[in-house]
Amino acid sequence: MNTTTARILQVSVGLPQTYVASDPRDQRPAEWRTAIDKSAVEGPVQLSTEGLEGDGCADRQNHGGIEGAVLLYAATHYTQWRIDLPEHDWQFGGFGENLTMDGLTEETVCIGDRWRVGTVLLEVSKPRQPCWKLCRRWQQPDLAKRVVQAGRGGWYARVLETGEVSAGDEMSLEDRPHPRWTVARTCRLYFGIERDSDAVRELAAVPQLSLNWREELLNRQV
């Protein structure tokens, strides 16, 4: 078995808040709610099947839930964002993630991976699909597009076994049933960067992939 290990650098949570858009060119509603603004938490934080204690979600239709209980993001991406978009103050938690990770990226994490951290067992369920709220959070209209093109969106996990997590905790890989399906490759197919109808059908059959992603992929084959 692959003995890959990783480490949590920061645990971040945030509750939904109401904001008012400041850019008159923005065509979306001026008043909006989001929990994308996360803050670091010191010490152990309880992680349930619905997510971290003290964390919330403003749009339950498109975010959160058991399939998206916790969002993970590679710490190394922040170094590149500081180069690509130096006008912004990029700090851990800035992409709305709950766990900022050292040692993992979309290229090294696979759908269905099971990662152990203490008593907690996580299972990778789907890539993160960036939305307009990320763009508005940073007042960067093309940020979602940049994230997709760069393959730096992060990934969600479901919680199979609950417990506590803390910054500094190490994570170890317990199982990798689908080594062909990295988060990066999944994104390339889903967003049409890579086009292969046979591969799309194969990906849609991966049972650990979040149901809404599987349904979307299958609908494209009709």
pLDDT, tens digit, for every residue of 23-57?
A: 666 667 778 788 899 999 999 999 999 999 999 98
Query: Can you give the pLDDT at residue 77?
Result: 98
- Could you tell me the residue ranges of all domains in the chain? 5-176
The residue assigned the tokens 């001026």 is: 30
Burial class (CB in 10 A: 0-12, 13-18, 19+), 42: exposed
* pLDDT score of 222 more than 60: no
**Hey, which bits of the chain come out as E strands?**
5-13, 17-20, 31-34, 39-40, 45-48, 51-52, 70-74, 99-102, 114-117, 120-127, 155-161, 163-165, 170-175
User: Domain 5-176 is in which class?
Assistant: mainly beta
Taking residues 87-93, report their average pLDDT. Answer: 97
